[in-house]
Amino acid sequence: MVPLRKITKARTARELERLIEDDKERGWKVGSRVNHFPHHSRPYQILMKFETDKEHVKL
């Protein structure tokens, strides 16, 4: 089973982009489209999945 991780703490689209880039450096890749919940305190959410095909992953 592929490890999944959900980013739910982004308050802005820019903050979500920064969090995605941080996770990509650690071997994660985008696993879903961006979800936007306008009435939520942290409206931007996305699902990430771990890249298992990489030889070297920074931890």
Torsion of CA 32, 36, 45, 54, to 10 degrees: 30
Q: pLDDT, tens digit, for every residue of 1-39?
A: 778 999 999 999 999 999 999 999 998 999 999 999 999
Single pTM value for the model: 0.76
Where does residue 49 fall: left (phi above 0), alpha (psi -120 to 50 degrees), or beta otherwise?
beta
- Residue 54: the pLDDT is 55
Distance CA 18, CA 53 (A): 23
Which H or E run includes 35? Answer: strand 35-36
User: pLDDT-derived band of residue 53, with 50, 70 and 90 as boundaries?
Assistant: low
- Is-contact 49 3, C-beta < 8 A? yes
* Domain range summary for the chain, segments of one domain joined by +: 4-50
pLDDT given for residue 57 in this prediction: 47
